Structure 1
């Protein structure tokens, strides 16, 4: 099992790469901030840059996720920095990256599981990996469904259902709606069951 602190430090580094090295340059060049899960990690919706395990993959080669986002962006031939379409998330482009291979693999598998579950439940809606929160989500009938690798309020992976308008009832166990720990959702079927339960709870009278 990956140490929780290692998982958190890896998640923070991957989030920084997602925002500063992929989403920011993509937005400045293409006007889009959206990212997507890819084999072994994640990448731009229209940018060719992607993360595979512990490497940044570019049209010109593969570069280890070491050094800083600034040095990594220079190797990739892009200008480091977040998109300016939302408030800066505060990632330091000069902070050292710390990406553990096992933790990166776990998070890549979590995004892949979430992508499969969301597509199974909502086949006509494209899930989006949003760089500001680094979560994979979609919205249907004013309810957000998604998976997060963790954040400041809840540091480890979790799945969530977030109605735009608050709901009442036993399903809703979080201020924004409902969440369930990732380690309680070991496969796509379990994740689909949780999200389907959220859909039913959100639409019940």
Structure 2
């Protein structure tokens, strides 16, 4: 996968997560949490969701094209940023245009699905959340963040992470906030989460 296609698609999907899904949901009093769904991610009530390079809504399915404002309007929503909630979001304006590579969108959806499944197996009592701020799916257990990111400034490709609130030292911990491994180098994300927890418990 070409790095630029992945980065551009990831940014566009991040914008959809905030402006078209979480922002309007928050405006309706539903909070900002999103969830992983087959083929992508969606609102907690399941009414609006991204599947591949399409937005599925009660009013119908539309392609992820045009501006964020146009996309939201096509399904009866108003694009809404979450600047009043957090400061670390995608910083995308509603008049910007989306740019989606379908193959990159599928890869990112697979990363979220992999992360969601591993998190549910790792901590069955927790519900994974896809956060619109950093666009990752994660949980927190005993002051440790576990999750999967589709890539960011730290790593440009999908990766799993273990982020203790107080980062430890040692060979396993290869990031300023804890430990990361790209999904490409992991044969089992659950094993990575389990290894991190084991080191922290000892």
Could you say which residue in structure 2 is the equivalent of 1:105?
Answer: 106
Aligned partners of 1:38, 1:100: CA distance in 2, in Å? Answer: 19
1:54-69 alignment runs, 5 A limit? 54-69=53-68
TM-score (ref. length: structure 1): 0.94
Could you say which residue in structure 2 is the equivalent of 1:42?
Answer: 41
1:152 Cα deviation after fit: 2.2
DSSP-derived class of the 1:120 partner: helix
Aligned partners of 2:67, 2:198: CA distance in 1, in Å? Answer: 44
Q: 1:191 to 1:69 in 2, by over 3 A?
A: same
Q: Does 1:26 align with 2:38?
A: no
Q: CA-atom RMSD, angstroms?
A: 1.2
1:71 Cα deviation after fit: 0.6
1:86 Cα deviation after fit: 1.4
Gaps of 5+ in 2: none
DSSP-derived class of the 2:28 partner: helix
1:200 corresponds, among 183, 198, 202, to: 198
Gaps of 5+ in 1: none
Aligned partners of 2:179, 2:54: CA distance in 1, in Å? Answer: 34
1:94 Cα deviation after fit: 1.4
1:153 Cα deviation after fit: 2.6
Asked if structure 1 preserves the Cα contact closer than 8 Å seen for 2:88 and 2:134, the reply is no
DSSP-derived class of the 1:133 partner: coil
Q: How many positions carry a matched residue from both structures?
A: 200
Aligned partners of 2:42, 2:201: CA distance in 1, in Å? Answer: 33
1:166 Cα deviation after fit: 1.9
1:137-152 alignment runs, 5 A limit? 137-152=138-153
